[in-house]
């Protein structure tokens, strides 16, 4: 039986990779979107050494060109971040437009503003603006990001589609069970262990709180300089309060979320982080920095707690408030899950993408 020709060619990072974009795309695939919308997925990026990355990018660009020429998808949908990711996807969309396909530029990079305005020269800024304005549609993850893109590229057609997250089963449960109270004093961080994620401030906050909360323990799940972070914890006198399990796969992540009492992500810049969505879907109280699209997801005192970035004292105060009030954690966690269910479920987001595809392909 001949394979169904793709209606949508989707281009992004390897689905088995680590990081937020891979997580987003894996959720879309698992939801059945690829089958329902006849999506063929091509990866132009994979983790590894420089040579391996170049070979993979070349193979992905070649597969994109062959698919566009031979199978003529109606739409090419590219998921992009900054730097090399943007360059690869801008070339993909240039090829697709030349062949006559409609194109979608889907922005994920939390530092895209700095990339476009500060780190790019005049020619690259023009190319970024050209790519956005020549795309049939630009997808932003939040209203604030959409406002920036419309200001930066006034001729671009911009729509807001948030990231989607599956809703895990929740029980009334005891400490350590999914949806339950978690282990008292246990704070979870998920993300790359790097300064941009606010990791230094988080260690400082734990050091400030340790004397008041004997049960306090911070679990930092993610890749990075683990030895450096062990040294940083030791220098602050909190080595016995920190666990560094490294990158966590889906099952390990879910297990850590179940055990957590509070989830914390004090990033300096973000788009709409999957880690926060996953924690909220699991019914956890969240403390996060008020950057990027986070304030549109987390409403301070309603379904989580917001703190300014770069402020260890404010972060410590927010964590103390959550750790010291069981009722507050339970209320915020319940509201967090309700928020995800209403606005960020796979059903809601995939329905929005399907409507966009039908609109661009003229099949409404």
Query: Cβ–Cβ contacts within 10 Å for residue 338, how many?
Result: 13
Answer whether 264's CB lies under 8 Å from 178's CB: no
Residue with structure tokens 């993909």?
92
* pTM for this predicted structure: 0.84
CATH number of the 8-164+345-361 domain: 3.40.50.2000
HEC secondary structure over 7-53: CEEEEEECCCCCCHHHHHHHHHHHCCHHHHCCEEEEEEECCCCHHHH
Is the domain covering 186-343 a CATH 3.40.50.2000 domain?
yes
Structure tokens at 210: 């340790």
Answer whether 39's CB lies under 8 Å from 7's CB: yes
Question: Hey, where are the domains in the chain?
Answer: 8-164+345-361, 186-343
- Per-residue pLDDT band for 259 (boundaries 50, 70, 90) equals very high
Q: Measured between alpha carbons, how far is 343 from 355 in angstroms, rounded to an integer?
A: 16
Answer whether 67's CB lies under 8 Å from 9's CB: yes
Report the pLDDT averaged over residues 20-47.
Answer: 91
Answer whether 178's CB lies under 8 Å from 169's CB: yes
Confirm whether 8-164+345-361 and 186-343 share one CATH topology. Answer: yes
**Can you count the helices (H) and strands (E) in the chain?**
15, 12
**Residue 348: which residues within 8 A CB-CB, separation 6 or more?**
164, 342
Report in angstroms the alpha-carbon separations of 317 from 32, 140, 220, 242, 336. Answer: 42, 32, 19, 19, 20
Q: List pLDDT tens digits, range 44-101.
A: 988 888 888 899 989 999 999 999 999 999 999 999 999 989 999 999 999 999 999 9
- Per-residue pLDDT band for 23 (boundaries 50, 70, 90) equals confident
């Amino acid at each position: 039986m001949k394979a169904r020709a793709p209606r949508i060619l989707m281009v992004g990072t390897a689905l088995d990779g680590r990081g937020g974009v891979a997580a987003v795309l894996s959720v879309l695939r698992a939801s059945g979107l690829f089958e329902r919308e006849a999506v063929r997925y091509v990866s132009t990026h994979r983790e590894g050494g420089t040579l391996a990355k170049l070979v993979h990018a070349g193979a992905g660009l070649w597969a994109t060109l062959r698919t566009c020429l031979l199978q003529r998808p109606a739409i090419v949908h590219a998921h992009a971040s900054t730097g090399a990711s943007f360059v690869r996807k801008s070339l993909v969309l240039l090829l697709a437009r030349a062949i006559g396909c409609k194109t979608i530029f889907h922005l994920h990079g939390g530092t895209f503003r700095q990339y476009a305005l500060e780190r790019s020269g005049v020619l690259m800024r023009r190319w970024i603006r050209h790519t956005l304005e020549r795309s049939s549609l630009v997808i932003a993850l939040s209203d604030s990001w959409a406002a920036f893109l419309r200001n930066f590229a006034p001729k671009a057609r911009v729509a807001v589609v948030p990231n989607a997250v599956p809703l895990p089963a929740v029980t009334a449960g005891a400490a350590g069970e999914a949806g339950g109270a978690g282990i008292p004093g246990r704070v979870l961080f998920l993300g790359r262990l790097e300064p941009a994620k606010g990791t230094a401030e988080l260690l400082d906050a734990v050091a400030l709180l340790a004397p008041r909360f004997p049960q306090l323990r911070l679990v930092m799940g993610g890749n990075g300089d683990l030895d450096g972070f062990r040294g940083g914890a030791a220098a602050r006198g909190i080595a016995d309060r920190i666990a560094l399990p490294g990158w966590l796969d889906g099952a390990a992540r879910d297990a850590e979320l179940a055990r957590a009492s509070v989830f914390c992500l004090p990033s300096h810049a973000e788009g709409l982080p999957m880690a926060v969505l996953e924690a909220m879907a699991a019914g956890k109280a969240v403390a996060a920095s008020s950057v990027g699209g986070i304030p549109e997801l987390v409403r301070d005192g309603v379904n989580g707690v917001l703190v300014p970035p770069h402020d260890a004292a404010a972060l410590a105060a927010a964590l103390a408030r959550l750790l010291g009030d069981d009722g507050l954690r339970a209320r915020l966690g319940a509201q967090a899950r309700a928020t995800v269910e209403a606005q960020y479920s796979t059903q809601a987001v995939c329905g929005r993408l399907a409507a966009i595809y039908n609109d661009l392909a003229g099949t409404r």
